[in-house]
């Protein structure tokens, strides 16, 4: 599937993951574009300057680190219709998350009366989603590696990190996202 693609280092993928993890703790909802860029630039410089063993130590769990290490990685443009979000993406209803990110975005559009913290974050993110995706691509793996439940729609790719970003891209009307794609 990805034989002719240019491989990228697992360190680049882990670095991107750690940057977005650290940024999740910052309330971006009231930030201007320039403040957003400034915050992410500082976080990026901090994480990128760390030796690889320190980055490994910052991964939330050893299992997640090992999961990243057992994959080969490429950076490629991926149609959103092939991406399934985490089964429990924030506080979005689990039954919505059993579908594709495009379906989740459609549910958000069609159920404006339903509100949640994650949905508000996604709506806020749509304004700057192009910039966010350019700097911090979602991290995807082959379908069935994350979303293996029998009541989950099988899709070609599962979101390991970046479900909110993918849903925001779909909500904005994008059809593809540049993503890190891992394969065993």
What pLDDT sits at residue 45? 94
Query: Whole-prediction pTM value?
Result: 0.90
What pLDDT sits at residue 25? 76
pLDDT by position in tens, the chain (length 184): 455 568 899 999 999 999 999 887 777 666 666 777 788 889 999 999 999 999 999 999 999 999 999 999 999 999 999 999 988 888 999 899 999 999 999 999 999 898 898 998 899 889 889 988 988 899 999 999 998 877 788 899 999 999 999 999 999 999 999 999 999 8
Q: For Cα atoms 16, 20, 21, give the angle at the middle one, nearest 5 degrees.
A: 115
Find out whether 68 and 59 touch, Cβ atoms under 8 Å: yes
Domain ranges of the chain: 7-183
Alpha helices for the chain (secondary structure H): 10-23, 33-48, 52-58, 62-69, 94-97, 101-110, 117-126, 129-135, 163-172
What pLDDT sits at residue 171? 97
Edge to edge, what strands does the sheet with 157-161 contain?
Answer: 7-8, 72-79, 176-183, 139-142, 157-161, 83-84
Euclidean distance between CA atoms 11 and 60, whole angstroms: 15
Cα 68 to Cα 13, 30, 45, 61, distances in angstroms? 8, 33, 22, 11
Euclidean distance between CA atoms 79 and 73, whole angstroms: 17
DSSP H/E element including 93? none
- The distance of Cα 68 from the centroid of its chain, to the nearest Å, equals 14
Task: Check residue 75 and give left, alpha or beta (phi > 0: left; psi -120 to 50: alpha).
Answer: beta
């Amino acid at each position: 599937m990805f034989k002719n693609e240019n491989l990228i280092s697992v360190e680049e993928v882990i670095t991107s993951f750690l940057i977005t993890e650290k940024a999740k703790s910052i309330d971006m909802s009231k930030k201007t574009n320039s403040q957003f860029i400034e915050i992410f630039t500082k976080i990026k410089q901090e994480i990128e300057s760390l030796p690889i063993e320190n980055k490994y130590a910052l991964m939330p769990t050893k299992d997640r680190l090992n999961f990243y290490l057992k994959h080969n990685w490429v950076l490629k443009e991926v149609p959103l219709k092939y991406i399934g979000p985490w089964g429990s993406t924030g506080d979005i209803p689990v039954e919505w998350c059993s579908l594709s990110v495009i379906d989740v975005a459609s549910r958000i559009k069609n159920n404006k009366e339903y509100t949640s913290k994650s949905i508000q974050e996604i709506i806020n993110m749509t304004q700057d989603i192009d910039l966010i995706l350019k700097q911090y691509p979602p991290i995807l793996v082959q379908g069935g590696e994350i979303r293996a439940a029998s009541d989950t729609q099988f899709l070609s790719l599962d979101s390991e990190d970046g479900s909110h970003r993918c849903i925001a891209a779909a909500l904005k009307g994008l059809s593809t996202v540049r993503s890190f794609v891992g394969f065993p």
